[in-house]
């Protein structure tokens, strides 16, 4: 049976190698490293295609997809290797898809690596990036983060787009439909595709995997969160929404949603760790298309959608270990959307204010930046907006701060330099 599964998967692999592929903006040099390569990100974000695209350039490889329940009943993992060696001819490079479905996969992969195999694995669970992983894989692993298309990858896909005005207009499309590759490449209905994907992740990666006793509760929780992206949440409100009285259960459910790469949380900044842990957090979605698919009313709020895009770009940087980021809020309830930290230093403060024509809103955003700048001792203040590019010295009650206005489309195209 195992040999038949591998043969079937090989045929599927060869078919995928012939499909249209959009180059991703990742560090391809990481594939040349002899460490274990971990391609991680949401389901259907292009992890497998990235690994397969790399195999296309190799000669001696083997492939096994553990998103097949028949493989999970096999107890002797050496059977996998024996069957792969027989089918592929002792491959040096092994690509294991959705490895997190395999029990004790870390020990298996580590043993293969010690025996000289070049290992690439993909996974849709953020625990693959946890600190415990360093222990299991003896520290010899490299993460390769694959989210749905970034704005620049979205532009790469629409390669006819050249001018600034075209990029600015395309940003509005991207803010609604997001960047999941398959519906864009195959031109299938985005809303139906992403609604099905969302429901599938909830059921397959959470309800089924963790044997959730009350599936409706996590459904209600996910729908509430996707309708409140960019906002703080309280456990009291979530308890009311889900009818779950146990706060620890709610927190555990949010962790499951985060592990499955549907949502991610952003902490409120404080120099005191205890305060940071006690404050409410904000919630963001991994792709705007999921918001479009599950909460049509929310897509009318362009400001929050664009803030979500910025949060995604920062989150990817954070997962790679380049930065940490938070939001800032003072006792007067004034806020700064994002506080970006590099090492032990606050690097920059970012407000997302798409419509700079609303004077009252713009003044509020600038005042918050000024106060956060003084509080955090950071002079790099940025307002991401629709099309204004300038530097302004903002003065208020004897205090002042220099603020950079940057068009959001431009910041996104240069965000690799954050």
pLDDT of residue 245: 86
- CA distances to 61, 215, 336 from 117, rounded to whole Å, are 10, 41, 48
- pLDDT truncated to tens, each residue of the chain (418 aa)? 899 999 999 999 999 998 888 889 998 999 989 899 999 889 999 999 999 999 988 889 999 999 899 999 999 999 999 999 999 999 999 999 988 888 889 889 989 999 999 999 988 766 665 555 656 676 688 889 999 999 999 998 987 777 888 888 899 999 999 999 999 999 999 999 999 999 999 998 899 989 998 899 999 999 999 999 999 999 989 998 888 889 999 999 999 999 999 999 999 999 998 888 889 999 999 999 999 999 877 666 888 999 999 999 999 999 988 999 999 999 999 999 999 999 999 999 999 998 899 999 999 999 999 999 999 999 999 999 998 999 999 999 999 999 999 999 999 988 754 4
Quick one: 11 exposed, middle or buried, by C-beta within 10 A (0-12, 13-18, 19+)? exposed
- In sequence order, what are the beta bridge partners of 402? 393
Sign (positive or negative) of CA dihedral 88, 94, 97, 103: positive
Q: Edge-to-edge strands of the sheet including 381-385? A: 324-329, 335-342, 345-352, 381-385, 399-407, 390-396
Question: Is the pTM for the entire model greater than 0.75?
Answer: yes
pLDDT of residue 188: 94
Which two three-digit tokens encode residue 300? Answer: 């009318």
pLDDT of residue 403: 98
What's the rounded Cα separation, in Å, for the pair 190 and 368?
37
pLDDT of residue 160: 74
What's the rounded Cα separation, in Å, for the pair 145 and 161?
26
Neighbours of 88 (CB within 10 A): 18
- CA distances to 237, 273, 282, 374 from 247, rounded to whole Å, are 11, 21, 17, 36
pLDDT of residue 418: 46
């Amino acid at each position: 049976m195992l040999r038949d599964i591998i043969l079937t998967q090989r045929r599927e692999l060869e078919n995928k190698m012939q499909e249209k592929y959009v180059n991703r903006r990742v560090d391809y040099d990481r594939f040349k490293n002899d460490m274990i390569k971990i391609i991680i990100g949401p389901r259907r974000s292009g992890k497998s295609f990235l690994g397969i695209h790399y195999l296309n350039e190799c000669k001696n490889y083997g492939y096994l997809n553990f998103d097949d329940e028949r493989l999970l009943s096999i107890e002797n993992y050496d059977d996998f290797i024996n069957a792969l060696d027989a089918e592929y001819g002792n491959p040096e490079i092994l690509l294991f898809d959705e490895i997190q479905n395999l029990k004790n996969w870390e020990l298996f992969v580590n043993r293969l690596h010690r025996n000289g195999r070049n290992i690439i694995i993909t996974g849709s669970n953020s625990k693959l990036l946890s600190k415990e992983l360093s222990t299991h894989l003896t520290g010899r692993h490299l993460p390769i983060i694959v989210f749905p298309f970034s704005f620049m990858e979205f532009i790469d896909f629409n390669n006819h787009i050249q001018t600034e005005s075209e990029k600015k207009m395309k940003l509005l499309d991207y803010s609604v439909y997001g960047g999941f590759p398959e519906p864009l490449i195959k031109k299938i209905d985005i809303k139906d595709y992403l609604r099905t994907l969302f429901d599938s992740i909830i059921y397959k990666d959470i309800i089924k995997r963790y044997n959730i006793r009350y599936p409706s509760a996590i459904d209600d929780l996910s729908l509430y969160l996707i309708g409140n992206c960019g906002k703080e949440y309280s456990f009291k409100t979530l308890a009311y929404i889900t009818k779950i009285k146990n706060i620890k259960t709610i927190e555990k459910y949010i962790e499951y949603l985060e592990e499955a790469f549907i949502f991610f949380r952003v902490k409120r900044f404080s120099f005191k760790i205890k305060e940071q842990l006690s404050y409410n957090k904000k919630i963001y979605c991994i792709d705007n298309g999921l918001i479009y698919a599950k909460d049509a009313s929310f897509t009318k709020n362009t400001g929050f959608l664009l803030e979500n895009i910025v949060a995604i770009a920062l989150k990817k940087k954070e997962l790679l270990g380049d930065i940490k980021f938070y939001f800032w809020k003072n006792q007067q309830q004034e806020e700064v959307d994002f506080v970006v930290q590099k090492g032990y230093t606050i690097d920059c403060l970012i407000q997302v204010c798409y419509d700079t024509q609303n004077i009252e809103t713009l003044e509020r955003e600038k005042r918050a930046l000024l106060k956060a700048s003084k509080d955090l001792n950071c002079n790099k203040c940025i307002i991401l907006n629709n099309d204004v590019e300038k530097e302004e010295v903002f003065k208020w009650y004897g205090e002042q701060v220099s603020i950079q206005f940057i068009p959001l489309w431009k910041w996104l195209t240069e965000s690799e330099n954050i």
